[in-house]
Structure 1
Amino acid sequence: MTEKLYQMCTRCVMDTTDPDITFDEQGVCNHCHQFDTVTTKRWFPNEEGKQRLAQIFNTIKNERKHYEYDCILGLSGGLDSSYLALVMNEYGMRPLVVHVDAGWNSELAVYNIEKVIKYCGYDLHTHVMNWPEIRDLQLSYLKAGVANQDVVQDHAFFASLYHFAVDNKINYVISGGNIATECVFPKNWHHSAMDAINLKAIHKKFGNLPLEDYRVVSFLQYYFYYPFLKKMKVVRPLNYMPYNKELALAELQEKIGYKSYGRKHGESRFTKFFQNYYLPTKFHMDKRKPHLSSQILSGLMTRNQALDELSKPLYEENELREDKYYLAKKLGITVEELDEYVSSPGHDYSEYPSWDSRYVLMKRMQSFVSLMSGRNVKNYS
């Protein structure tokens, strides 16, 4: 049996593993065109960005000067959020730092979080999730066979962050999300991690324990309650500066003794396995491709450098064996059962109830309001 050949973009490294990808006559894909025509209009890696960011932070400081904290910052121990913490320290911001421990932290993640907090002098609130519930929900997702296995962690992280912000009357959430390394993302690859309807449906079918401590964010909360009633605003400071991961890592290593994970999302043992083995094996999705393509488009690397990275193995054999054993033991299953979850046929999220119909209705309402008011009304995201 011959390996399937995929057509690759001539500018970045995205290919037809994204079923929605299209190419122009020169072989350049729609992701590149989207970057040129849309994304660059909200990306400011220059002096203008520096001025905009200073203005944003000054506005937050002025609004929050009578409160203990300016904002809330989620810290995973990963490179983006760790570097962002240092940036905010340089600007004199006073964030309440929140870390959500869903049970998959690597030892390095704990070490790096401690180093960041000590250097910046921030207050840290660690929310430790109920492991039996996390385990039951994670197994439900493995049994469901959907692509985005990280929903369990991602939803827990954002839900905890938003609920904690509201409980503490903080309406600014600072995010490490950034265009420089994340601007390319095939929408067909994953469904939104914030879809609580989909999450509950999967757990209802495959789970065994009630989710008593696992808090979710509903559709109305995500799109209406938080942004409109609670006036919550999400700020992504890394989009207002020239963000280079290698330079950020070097600065973190020099200033706080930060230790590299060696690969993206190495702060989570499960995410590392999910992205580097589960997705490529079960769905032929190599998340290095959008990540590297983002860096090509933002000028952080050349296409040849990206192709060289793609030629390297996703996992070393011994490392994969160790991670399989660790995950299986922690989930209370055998390695053989874990292998079966990976090798069994994949399923689309749409096979389970979701918020899709509500989302379509919301977009129609959004378009109507924009048309009637003559303004571009944006939903919370």
Structure 2
Amino acid sequence: MDTTDSMIVFDEKGVCDHCNTFYQHTLPNWHTDKRGEDELERMVDLIRAEGRGKDFDCIIGMSGGIDSSYLTYVAKEKLGLRPLVFHVDAGWNSQIAVNNIERLVDGLGLDLFTEVIDWEEMKDLQLAFFKSGVPHIDAPQDHAFFATMYKFARQHHVKCILTGANLSTECIRNPIEWMYYQSDSRQLRDIHRQFGTVPLKHFPFTAIFWHKVWLPYVKGIKVLRPLNCLPYIKNDARQLLMDRFGWQPYPQKHFESRFTKFYESYWLPKRFGYDVRRVQYSSLIVTNQMTRQEALLQLEQPTCDEVTIHQELEFVANKLGISVDELNGYMLLPQKTYKDYKNQRQLYDLGARVMHALGMELGGKR
């Protein structure tokens, strides 16, 4: 990490606060040994108890990426659970992602439920984010994923949602100015009110109070992270998935979505100077899965070659129903941040302080 994170702080030894947070707070409280095994066993007992008498005992949101794919394998093969694989199609799936989901589902003998988001509304909301000038144009897609998952769990009385979110590859978090909270519905609605044209009649919304308080503490719907309780080495997991299921790897984390690929490989670094590989590699460095020198060599290479970038620009523009010139025109708009629009940042900060104080959140700062 470097000063493209404007809030980064270095101590007298030149060590940044991201690393200090990991070594002083995350690592001492993150257990993948016998303590992790015991915690995982208690988690599995809870899942089985909640799912007794039902067709499935939990749901797993699967994107086709490595984290959710490996989690699906672990849940079925290692933990003996009966998950329903849940996928939200926001219109941007890569063909590799579609293939990977099918291979995992078929290979494990699981059921797949796919929810398709209204494309006209999704497209209009994404265009509104382009016009707003903010960095986090991927927020509508992620928001739809979260909201649809919670909605499905509530409607079908599922008490346990399993997520591939993990500390092994995600302990260093994106700075808030790079990627603002995707679940902030107040921000989504304000940006759409100012720049959108299509009424959002079907787009799924969630809210921080809804999924952080009402669902877990009133409805008893829990979001669980099993990968935090066992050794999870990215390269080993990738090789297992490839050997066992014919799973295909992606050039970079999150590239299972064509829009996210465009967003992280072109939009953020080209327009704002934010290279999310710094965050991804930093997580792998502190968890001993990558050396700093390896990361620096990787960062010397562009995120995508010119041919691929041109192809992605054309694909995204055509998908959104605009010209490549119009898409490139958004690159020239005045740069804005989440602060320029209505938001609930104070609520998120309050919640984060409470969760850290109670030991419920081990991830790094945002």
- TM class, shorter-length: over 0.9
> What are the Cα deviations for residues 206-244 of structure 1, in whole angstroms up to 9, with x where unaligned?
000011111101233123211211112111111112211
1:362, distance to aligned residue in structure 2 (A):
6.3
State how far apart, in whole Å, the 1-side matches of 2:348 and 2:317 are. Answer: 36
Counterpart position of 2:21: 34
Residues 1:159 and 2:147 are matched in the alignment:
yes
Counterpart position of 1:352: 341
Counterpart position of 1:129: 117
Residues 1:336 and 2:325 are matched in the alignment:
yes
State how far apart, in whole Å, the 2-side matches of 1:150 and 1:177 are. Answer: 18
Cα 1:39–1:357 shift into 2, 3 Å: closer
Cα 1:154–1:42 shift into 2, 3 Å: farther
Cα 1:96–1:201 shift into 2, 3 Å: same
State how far apart, in whole Å, the 1-side matches of 2:244 and 2:358 are. Answer: 43
Question: How many equivalent residue pairs?
Answer: 360
1:265, distance to aligned residue in structure 2 (A):
1.4
Q: How does 1:108-119 map to 2 (within 5 A)?
A: 108-119=96-107
1:358, distance to aligned residue in structure 2 (A):
4.4
1:55, distance to aligned residue in structure 2 (A):
2.5
Counterpart position of 2:358: 376
Counterpart position of 2:303: 314
Residues 1:184 and 2:172 are matched in the alignment:
yes
**Does the 8 A contact of 1:195 with 1:218 survive in 2?**
yes
Cα 1:308–1:35 shift into 2, 3 Å: same
Which region of structure 1 is more displaced relative to structure 2, 37-46 or 260-269?
Answer: 37-46
State how far apart, in whole Å, the 2-side matches of 1:363 and 1:297 are. Answer: 22
Counterpart position of 1:53: 40
**Does the 8 A contact of 1:281 with 1:343 survive in 2?**
no
**Does the 8 A contact of 2:183 with 2:206 survive in 1?**
yes
Q: How does 1:196-275 map to 2 (within 5 A)?
A: 196-275=185-264
Counterpart position of 1:75: 62
> What are the Cα deviations for residues 334-370 of structure 1, in whole angstroms up to 9, with x where unaligned?
1111111123222011111112354567679x69xx9
> What are the Cα deviations for residues 150-172 of structure 1, in whole angstroms up to 9, with x where unaligned?
11110000000000000000111
Q: What are the ranges of 5 or more consecutive residues in structure 1 without an aligned counterpart?
A: 1-13
Question: Counterpart amino acid of 1:67?
Answer: K
State how far apart, in whole Å, the 2-side matches of 1:98 and 1:363 are. Answer: 27
Question: Counterpart amino acid of 2:122?
Answer: I
Equivalent residue for 1:169, pick from 154, 157, 163:
157
Cα 1:264–1:361 shift into 2, 3 Å: closer
State how far apart, in whole Å, the 1-side matches of 2:72 and 2:85 are. Answer: 9
State how far apart, in whole Å, the 2-side matches of 1:118 and 1:310 are. Answer: 37
Question: Counterpart amino acid of 2:27?
Answer: T
State how far apart, in whole Å, the 2-side matches of 1:209 and 1:60 are. Answer: 40
> What RMSD in Å do the two structures reach over aligned CA positions?
2.0
**Does the 8 A contact of 2:160 with 2:222 survive in 1?**
yes
Which region of structure 1 is more displaced relative to structure 2, 354-363 or 18-27?
Answer: 354-363
State how far apart, in whole Å, the 2-side matches of 1:86 and 1:255 are. Answer: 10
SS of equivalent to 1:184: coil
State how far apart, in whole Å, the 2-side matches of 1:99 and 1:183 are. Answer: 24
Equivalent residue for 1:142, pick from 123, 127, 130:
130
1:315, distance to aligned residue in structure 2 (A):
1.0
SS of equivalent to 1:165: helix
State how far apart, in whole Å, the 2-side matches of 1:219 and 1:74 are. Answer: 19
State how far apart, in whole Å, the 1-side matches of 2:233 and 2:358 are. Answer: 32
Counterpart position of 1:5: none
Give % identity: 41
**Does the 8 A contact of 1:171 with 1:233 survive in 2?**
yes
Cα 1:116–1:363 shift into 2, 3 Å: closer
> What are the Cα deviations for residues 276-322 of structure 1, in whole angstroms up to 9, with x where unaligned?
11001111110000110001001111111111111111110100000
State how far apart, in whole Å, the 1-side matches of 2:334 and 2:197 are. Answer: 23
**Does the 8 A contact of 1:282 with 1:345 survive in 2?**
no
State how far apart, in whole Å, the 1-side matches of 2:305 and 2:28 are. Answer: 40
**Does the 8 A contact of 1:184 with 1:290 survive in 2?**
yes
Counterpart position of 1:15: 2
Cα 1:358–1:241 shift into 2, 3 Å: closer
User: What TM-score, normalized to structure 2?
Assistant: 0.94
State how far apart, in whole Å, the 1-side matches of 2:242 and 2:352 are. Answer: 44
User: What TM-score, normalized to structure 1?
Assistant: 0.90
> What are the Cα deviations for residues 92-150 of structure 1, in whole angstroms up to 9, with x where unaligned?
11111110000000011110000010011111110011111110000000001111111
Counterpart position of 1:63: 50
Q: What are the ranges of 5 or more consecutive residues in structure 2 without an aligned counterpart?
A: none
Counterpart position of 1:85: 72
State how far apart, in whole Å, the 2-side matches of 1:127 and 1:165 are. Answer: 13
State how far apart, in whole Å, the 2-side matches of 1:257 and 1:50 are. Answer: 29
Question: Counterpart amino acid of 1:145?
Answer: G
